[in-house]
Amino acid sequence: MSDVAQASAIGRFRAERAVVSPGETSWVVIDSDWNLHVEACAYLASLRAADRSLNTERVYAGRVALFLNYCEQSGVDWHDPEFTELHAFLRWLITEPVRHPGGKSTARLRSKGTANAIVTTTSEFLKFGARLGWVAPRVSALLSQPKYLRYVPPEFDAGERDQFRTTQERTLKFRAQTTEPALLMDEETAVVVCAAANARDRFLVTALLETGMRIGEALGLRRSDLHFLARSEALGCGIPGPHLHVIRRPNENGALAKSRTPRTIPVTQKMVAAYSDYLFERDRLDRGAANDAVFVNLFREPRGRSMTYANAKEMMDRLARDCGFTVRPHMMRHTAATRWIEAGVDPDVVQALLGHVSFASTQRYIHASRKRMREAVESTAKTRRDLPW
pLDDT at 382 over 80: no
The sheet that has 226-227: what strands, in order across it? 226-227, 243-246, 263-266
Tell me what pLDDT residue 147 has.
67
111 and 212 share one domain? no
Tell me what pLDDT residue 47 has.
93
β-strand partners of 231: none
Between 72 and 175, the higher pLDDT residue: 72
Burial class (CB in 10 A: 0-12, 13-18, 19+), 42: middle
235 and 295 share one domain? yes
131 and 194 share one domain? no
DSSP 234: G
pLDDT at 202 over 80: yes
**Domain for residue 371, yes or no?**
no
**Domain for residue 380, yes or no?**
no
- The band of 364, judged by pLDDT with boundaries at 50, 70 and 90, is confident
109 and 228 share one domain? no
The verdict on whether omega for the bond into residue 153 sits within 30 degrees of 0, i.e. cis, is: no
For the chain, counts of helices (H) and of strands (E)? 15, 7
CA 68 – CA 78 distance, rounded (Å): 7
What's the average model confidence in pLDDT over 349-367? 82
**Domain for residue 219, yes or no?**
yes
44 and 104 share one domain? yes
53 and 112 share one domain? yes
pLDDT digits (tens, 9 = 90+) for 74-121: 999 999 999 999 999 999 999 998 876 555 545 688 989 899 999 999
User: What's the whole-model pTM score?
Assistant: 0.73
Angle between helices 309-323 and 186-195 (to 10 degrees): 110
Tell me what pLDDT residue 388 has.
63
Tell me what pLDDT residue 9 has.
47
CA 313 – CA 60 distance, rounded (Å): 18
Contact (Cβ atoms closer than 8 angstroms) between residue 6 and residue 62: yes
What's the average model confidence in pLDDT over 36-51? 94
What's the average model confidence in pLDDT over 360-383? 72
Angle, CA of 315, 109 and 333, to the nearest 5°: 35
**Domain for residue 100, yes or no?**
yes
251 and 191 share one domain? yes
β-strand partners of 15: 29
What's the average model confidence in pLDDT over 58-80? 96
Establish how many alpha carbons lie within 13 A of residue 79's alpha carbon, considering only the half-sphere containing its beta carbon. 5
- The band of 149, judged by pLDDT with boundaries at 50, 70 and 90, is low
| Residue after which a domain boundary falls, among 88, 117, 143 | 143
Q: Which residues contact 205 (CB under 8 A, 6 or more apart)?
A: 192, 193, 196, 319, 332
Tell me what pLDDT residue 300 has.
87
Angle between helices 54-74 and 38-49 (to 10 degrees): 160
Q: What is the average pLDDT score of the chain? A: 87
| CATH number, position 305 | 1.10.443.10
Contact (Cβ atoms closer than 8 angstroms) between residue 148 and residue 166: yes
**Domain for residue 17, yes or no?**
yes
190 and 136 share one domain? no
What's the average model confidence in pLDDT over 259-272? 92
Contact (Cβ atoms closer than 8 angstroms) between residue 89 and residue 79: no
230 and 111 share one domain? no
- Please, where are the H alpha helices in the chain? 3-10, 38-49, 54-74, 83-95, 112-131, 138-143, 186-195, 199-211, 215-219, 269-285, 309-323, 329-342, 347-354, 359-363, 370-383
Q: Which residues contact 33 (CB under 8 A, 6 or more apart)?
A: none
Domain encompassing residue 219 = 186-349
Between 389 and 164, the higher pLDDT residue: 164
pLDDT digits (tens, 9 = 90+) for 279-336: 999 999 998 889 999 999 999 899 999 999 999 999 999 999 999 999 999 999 999 9
Angle between helices 112-131 and 54-74 (to 10 degrees): 90
The total number of structural domains that make up the chain: 2
pLDDT at 64 over 50: yes
CA 262 – CA 257 distance, rounded (Å): 9
pLDDT at 60 over 60: yes
Burial class (CB in 10 A: 0-12, 13-18, 19+), 377: exposed
- The band of 203, judged by pLDDT with boundaries at 50, 70 and 90, is very high
**Domain for residue 362, yes or no?**
no
190 and 314 share one domain? yes
**Domain for residue 310, yes or no?**
yes
pLDDT at 124 over 60: yes
From the list 53, 56, 52, 96, the residue with the least C-alpha distance to 73 is 96
pLDDT at 123 over 70: yes
What's the average model confidence in pLDDT over 6-33? 80
Three-class SS state of 22: coil
138 and 242 share one domain? no
Burial class (CB in 10 A: 0-12, 13-18, 19+), 61: buried
| Residue after which a domain boundary falls, among 87, 120, 143 | 143
129 and 214 share one domain? no
CA 248 – CA 260 distance, rounded (Å): 6
**Domain for residue 300, yes or no?**
yes
- Lowest average pLDDT, out of 195-204, 308-317, 349-358, goes to 349-358
